[in-house]
Amino acid sequence: MTKIVGVTACIAGIAHTYMAKTNLEKFAKKEGIEIHVESQGSMGIENRLSQQAIDEADVVIFAVDTNVAQRDRFADKKVLEVGTSEVVKDGSKTIQKALELCK
């Protein structure tokens, strides 16, 4: 089973951060993919990814419009970086792009 971890973060750290998180989870579930998503918003880091989840992931999705806090945790991982609005508009396409990186 493919495993994905993700980080979502928008400039304001409010709406798009959480909408992107929801869409990643929704479309990964439809594909039968295990996903864990951390949000870095106005409340700080929520649902912090464990290092084990990061290490076991086949790919990382950064759905961000700003810098990822503690990015070094994802060193040596395949990363797909997209804007939050792209994920909000078409989360399915983002998941498909991530799966392509796993091949």
Residues carrying an active site annotation: 10
Contacts of 39 (CB under 8 A, 6+ apart): 7, 8, 9, 17, 18, 21, 45, 46, 47
Residue 58 near residue 4, CB atoms below 8 Å: yes
Alpha-carbon 34 to chain mean position: 12
- Write phi, then psi, for 9 (nearest 5 degrees): -160, 125
Whether the CB-CB separation of 24 and 47 falls below 8 Å is answered with no
